[in-house]
Structure 1
Amino acid sequence: MGMSKKWILATTLIGMPLLAAGCAGDDEAEGTGEEREVDLSFMHWRGEDQAVFDVLIDQFESENPDINVEQNVYPSDQYMATAQRMLQEGSTGDVFATFPGAQFEALESAGFFEDLSDEEFVANFDEGAIEVGQADGRQLALPYQLVFNMPVYNTEIFEELGLEVPQSWDEFIAMGETLKENDIIPIAFPGADIGPNQFMNSMVMNNAPDGAFTDLVAGEAALTDDWWIQTLEQFQYLQENDFFQEDALGTNQDAAMALVANGEAAMLATGSYHMASLLELNPDLQLDLLAPITVSEEEARYEGIHTATFMLAINSNSENKEAAAEFIEFLSQPEVASQYANETGQHLTVTGVEYESEALQNTSYWIDERETRFQPRYMITNAQVEDAVLSSIENVIGGAAPEEAAAEAQQVVEEVTE
């Protein structure tokens, strides 16, 4: 059974409350002298997509001459704090993007979302994919992107060395040894900025029991439990046996991508969202996705990780709700979504999207033909608990013993969840 038939919902979450404020205005469109009735703010974190959205916005404004759309874009690692401040000021966010998990639940608790349940454009999305944007039977946000949070790998290197995709931890280790014997770094790890945020999902997908992180926040599980100690021990093995590049914790994402683009490393420990950037660096790359299987082949339940993210929503306090709905309806049209998908290298949740790029075509089989788990990190619903979990991985990569790193992190968990 493929992923689209078994989406896993985020459970009751804790998060930082955000206050909503709308924005409206009658501004003159730049360079046209044309008076527009609505000045619409579109707030998101995908700076790498800004140029593509500019093109789509031009098309939208041509079809809707009374609406002007302005992008307000912030780095993803600052989006929570920036979104809160900007929305409180009331200067942005008629249409906004939200992450699933903690941020979505915090916004829902604050009454921030306009109910989209009765909007006709909801039918343009895959029914299973958008469940993560629902609460209490209402469709509050619509995930636009379908991301696979698992390593991207160079298939040509595998073919040249006669390597197959590992089906167990032993096979994964053997694969890495073959790569090292041929002077190829197995995994480019961007520890300086992304850290283990993405790679941890693959490492726990078969280790973590169902609901493990939800139970952790609820005090019903601990980071000193066997499944997390095992995960940290496997991170330790990868570090001590040179599966990562030198100074993994000091390497940023651009440097890590360069290692893969120039053939020095076989895998990038991020996700499908970096495939387009890798191809910009080296258009000749042949790429696919590969998640480490951390258990035996018989014990493995999942082959990869998925997330339905970049969830589009309308500010419940906006004065421009009708125009906001028209903009989301526009983005959900299959021809528009196809343009966005192919220009950005993203798989989408919109039905009827046609993937033209070879990379997207070659990886689209992950949507229906592979067993994938919803990103476990989004089940960590307390920001301080999440920081403790990620820090325990970083500490092990930095040389700490797994048991000590787990105990230290668990102490933080207990302090913040009491």
Structure 2
Amino acid sequence: MFNVRNALLAGTIALGAMLSACGSSGGDSSSGGKEVKISFLHWRGEDVEALNKIIEKFQQQNPGIKVDMQTLPSDQYQTAAAAKLTDGSAGDVFASFPGAQFEALSKAGQFADLTGADFLGRFNADLIQPGVKDGKQLAVPYQLVYNDPIYNVKLFDKYGLTPPKDWEGFLALCETLKQNGVIPIAFAGADIGPGQFMNTMVMNNEPSEDIFEKVEAGEAKLTDEWWVKTLSQIKELNDKGYFQPDALGTKDAAAGALFIQEKAAMLASGSYQLAQNAKQNPGLEQKLLAPITVAAGEAKYEGVHTSTFLLGVNSRSKHPDEARKFLDFLSGKEIASEYANATGQNVTVKDVEYSTPELKVATEWSTRKTLFQPRFTIKNADNQKAVTGSIQAVLGGSSPEEAASEAQAAVDQNLVK
């Protein structure tokens, strides 16, 4: 009897040890203790090196979880990501743009609800609002971007220029640069330029922060004065030769090269580009400015900000617990600091310390009055395309009124739907 009891006790201990080993593997109950592989899908290929190091640390701390990272080009991500996410085989953790893409994916039920997660307390509550839908926190914006054009400080100093306070001053600055053989503004009209530059150009022209929401609701029109004026001013810059030749046919990389090579004094992009510029030209001294499209003293905003790179957990993920654990890890202050300083991207996590000159340039804007990016208040992707397309139309020779009318016709079609 004594021996039997000992044998049973030994068997119980051995079984407990086996269960404990399974529990410590990081796998879920369905994996049987095997290594769990989760997919991380996003568009920032330039961050892969930094993220690989962060993933390696995560895997060391969670030896039962393997993170497989996949990136898509940013200009393809809006359309290609949804197909990959649908069956849950990719993007256990995935990134989304705010605005139209977030809206579409949330309507499709693609996001798991993160409301109440402990790690949400590590973020600036105001900056993660673009990830809220119907009162639920569906995603957390990880990056804080200032969508203001970048300028070459040394070129400005050389010609005695400072960021102007009104539209006439901005035109005069551009003319001075042009007369001295410098391209005033490098503009990627073929891809990202219209979507980036429109934000600072419209911020002080629009009558209200929700004007694009009103347009989509049929309560305002793109043919109204505020958008026609914005198109007129963009056309004026192009007609006066303040963009490089063939701005409409210029892609992002080519426009960036003009700025990096110091052939252009400004680049119509945003703070997200500062680090890449510095990497390619370490002697480049950069700051941000926003064109003021109104008279001196009439500006409501100094610039534009976006909390973007919205990280969420796929509602169709087969490994939701492991996905949340990875998102929790990315939310830690030390890891967020490592990501920020390695990639040159400001983040929405609180109390992060920035060490690079480029991040400090962007941080200077944290105390200024900035508006959330107007383009991302457009919730319908077709409407967003119509708005940015009207900018391309005026670059191609259409009148502001014609371009606005065509864009409004596209919006009207979506209203009917």
Q: Could you state the TM-score of these two structures normalised by the residue count of structure 2?
A: 0.90
* 2: CA distance, partners of 1:254 / 1:101: 25
Say which structure is richer in helix.
Answer: 2
Alignment of 1:147-296 (within 5 A): 147-210=145-208, 211-296=210-295
Decide whether the 8 Å contact of 2:193 with 2:268 is kept in 1.
no
Deviation at 1:24, TM superposition (A): 11
Match of 1:360?
359
- Give structure 1 stretches of 5+ with no counterpart: 1-22, 28-34
* 1: CA distance, partners of 2:262 / 2:89: 45
Decide whether the 8 Å contact of 2:38 with 2:319 is kept in 1.
yes
Alignment of 1:105-144 (within 5 A): 105-144=103-142
* 2: CA distance, partners of 1:405 / 1:113: 36
1:372 to 370, 373, 377: 370
The one-letter code matched in structure 2 to 1:264 is K
Deviation at 1:171, TM superposition (A): 0.8
* 2: CA distance, partners of 1:188 / 1:349: 29
Residues 63-107 of structure 1 deviation map (CA, whole Å, 9 limit, x = unaligned): 110100001211122112221211224320111111111222222
Deviation at 1:25, TM superposition (A): 9.2
Decide whether the 8 Å contact of 2:193 with 2:269 is kept in 1.
no
Decide whether the 8 Å contact of 1:36 with 1:68 is kept in 2.
no
Q: Could you state the TM-score of these two structures normalised by the residue count of structure 1?
A: 0.89
The one-letter code matched in structure 2 to 1:75 is P
> Equivalent residue of 2:194, what SS?
coil
The one-letter code matched in structure 2 to 1:139 is Q
Deviation at 1:37, TM superposition (A): 2.4
> Equivalent residue of 1:163, what SS?
coil
| Shift in alpha-carbon separation, 1:393–1:152, aligned structure 2, 3 A | same
Match of 2:307?
308
1:398 to 379, 396, 399: 396
The one-letter code matched in structure 1 to 2:256 is M
The one-letter code matched in structure 1 to 2:268 is A
The one-letter code matched in structure 2 to 1:300 is A
2:290 is the counterpart of 1:298? no
> Equivalent residue of 1:197, what SS?
helix
Residues 240-279 of structure 1 deviation map (CA, whole Å, 9 limit, x = unaligned): 1011001111111111111111111011111111111111
Match of 2:349?
350
| Shift in alpha-carbon separation, 1:166–1:200, aligned structure 2, 3 A | same
Residues 192-218 of structure 1 deviation map (CA, whole Å, 9 limit, x = unaligned): 222301001111010112111111111
Decide whether the 8 Å contact of 1:25 with 1:38 is kept in 2.
no
* 1: CA distance, partners of 2:106 / 2:382: 20
* Total equivalences in the alignment: 388
Decide whether the 8 Å contact of 2:141 with 2:348 is kept in 1.
yes
Match of 1:383?
381
- Give structure 2 stretches of 5+ with no counterpart: 1-27
Match of 1:53?
51
Larger Rg: 2
> Equivalent residue of 1:312, what SS?
strand
